[in-house]
Amino acid sequence: MGTKTRKLLVVFLVAIATHALAVAYLPQDFDEPVYVQAACDYAEAMSRRDFNAVIDYPKVREHPALVKLAYGAAVMSRCAQHNYTKALSTSRTVSAVFGVAATLVIALLDPLAGGLMAVHALVVKYTSQAYLEAIPLAFSLLAVFTFLKAGKDKLGVLFWLSAVFLGAATAGKFTYTPVIVVVLVYLAFFEKKLPLGWMALYGVAATVAFFALNVSLWHDPLGRATEAVAYHLGYQQGAHVEEVGYPWFQPFVWLFVNTPGYWHGGVFFYDVDPFIAAFAFAGIPREWKDRRWLVVWLVSGLVFLLAWGTKWPQYVLTVVPAICLMAAESLRRTYRWFWRLSYYRSG
């Protein structure tokens, strides 16, 4: 077993441990009953083979259907649609599987970054609960990973897989797409120097995948897409957002300030999120020279988060992978600096 394989195995085991603990012991969060109920309703409709009821499901239509449908399929397989406790546990398990998968994708790029993501409290929390984050996060990271690995001379399998993964991420949740599209466009035109025609085909493939995986659009694509966009534009100006009253800089609070313990129910006995963010931001000048696409990812994501009126903590997951990759390199360089310092002193 090679060194990298051993590192990946360690990251995998740590991610499984943190997610399993979160699935079992995190208290029920605000939106979980909404998505679990949708999963139960989907399970009920699928068990009756009433596919029109699946396509025309009227609740929570402001979000694409893929994640809720995945939860519903898992609930149906366990015959738990009439037992909320089992449905919650099943949906959380599906979320955790994709949360671990997302961590492994980052670990393939950098095992240390994967290790940081495996213990990042906000990532573990929102990819272990029955939220909408884990599946689009995993697919968006797969879109970036396969695009990075795709060749520059021909439209290979990885190129098309990246497009499909981007469509799948969008079919899971809209908020990941704007940030990842900026990253992919930068990589395509500034680093890989790909022809515009290739990226147009990429966009068509991603759109087809999105439509195929978001069943809510099948009977009325334009109307339901317009309805979803209008909902989100209105929601950020709505009473609930105003009542909570998060300031415009709240995303920085989620990244740099210890998250409230009552969210976690004592599950996380550590909170390394602020330290990971600090090491990442300290490395911005270096990354601008070495891996500019990571800075583009972080900055474009922060611009989106600061401009968007809704400031929920799970939204920062759109930039945390870039933060983990940048922080890992900063940590390595810091370790080398201390090692050299101690070596010179001992000598």
The 3-state secondary structure of 191-229 reads HCCCCHHHHHHHHHHHHHHHHHHCHHHCCCHHHHHHHHH
Q: Is a pLDDT exceeding 90 seen at residue 241?
A: no
Cα 13 to Cα 36: distance, rounded to the nearest angstrom? 27
Selection from 85-99, 224-238, 260-274, 329-343 with the highest mean pLDDT: 85-99
Q: Is a pLDDT exceeding 80 seen at residue 2?
A: yes
Q: What is the pLDDT of residues 193-226, one digit of tens each?
A: 999 999 999 999 999 999 999 999 999 999 999 9
Overall domain count for the chain: 1
Q: Is a pLDDT exceeding 90 seen at residue 229?
A: no
Nearest to 136 by CA among 340, 341, 317: 317
Q: Is a pLDDT exceeding 70 seen at residue 261?
A: no
Please report, for residues 1, 4, 51, the alpha-carbon distance to residue 293 in angstroms, rounded to integers and kept in the order given: 32, 24, 42
Q: Is a pLDDT exceeding 90 seen at residue 124?
A: yes
Residue 103 falls within a domain, yes or no?
A: yes
Residue 133 falls within a domain, yes or no?
A: yes
Residue 239 falls within a domain, yes or no?
A: no
61 three-state secondary structure: coil
Q: What is the pLDDT of residues 58-105, one digit of tens each?
A: 999 999 999 999 999 999 987 655 688 999 999 999 999 999 999 999
345 pLDDT band, cuts 50/70/90, is: low
Structural domain boundaries, residue 218 = 3-234+245-346
CA 34, 40, 45, 46 dihedral sign is positive
Q: Is a pLDDT exceeding 90 seen at residue 239?
A: no
Residue 22 falls within a domain, yes or no?
A: yes
Residue 256 falls within a domain, yes or no?
A: yes
Residue 240 falls within a domain, yes or no?
A: no
Please list, in sequence order, all residues whose beta carbon lies within 8 angstroms of the beta carbon of residue 140, skipping any fewer than 6 positions away. Answer: 165, 166, 169, 176, 177, 180, 318
- pTM over 0.85? The answer is yes
Check residue 226 and give its pLDDT. 93
Structure tokens at 20: 């399993």
Q: Is a pLDDT exceeding 80 seen at residue 1?
A: no
271 pLDDT band, cuts 50/70/90, is: confident
| Average pLDDT of the chain, as a whole number | 93
